[in-house]
Structure 1
């Protein structure tokens, strides 16, 4: 139980960082190589912690939005309206984002500043991370066929 809590706190902390944090996959690989925790548990705990961390990061950036110049506030409002005006494009974008290995901190920071509804972003992030973290964890545990 302590190992799961430590994993959760490490991944949560990394995903609260807006920049310069180590990639979460490196922690998953480390745990996969150095623990006897089941792969499914590593993946689920890590994905939950990462999603919560990014959600909290986005909410913290919402508080910073009030300090921005009016021009940037107008630009962020226009970006939010454009995203929300075309749900199909937003769903496509979320799908690509969910499966992308690209860093997500900046996207969550921008979503927080723009005051975009975060539930869809966080759900897509969580789903995508379940897939990518499963690959990393399985590879670390040596579940990939070898020669």
Structure 2
């Protein structure tokens, strides 16, 4: 587990962080990732492996959550993780939009084209199209490795 964690953290610059940097800087923005502060990462990597595992009830990041006890309401602190779109409410707003704008036939044709990353939903196709339209000079394979899975 420790070796895989170190490999993943060591590769962030060439995957997720590179994508984040390119997309934000293309629009004159600078992303901030406070949990990647050197001291925070050093602390997390110094923890014994058992503190990085799921809690007995399946809750993730118990050590981090406990560090904010008394500073955040328990209903926020101990809620289950969700994918960003679901937890932020964006999914309930955007999924109907993509479903109304993209037909099943369009989705099937686009998802089968060579050079297109694996698309699992009309929503992912919508984001992919937006990416291609907004950043036409950026090669998708340079910044899109694969979509996250739930």
TM-score normalised according to structure 1 size: 0.27
Relative contact order, CA 8 A, sep 6+: which one is greater? 1
- Name the structure with the higher helix share: 1
Q: Which has the larger radius of gyration?
A: 2
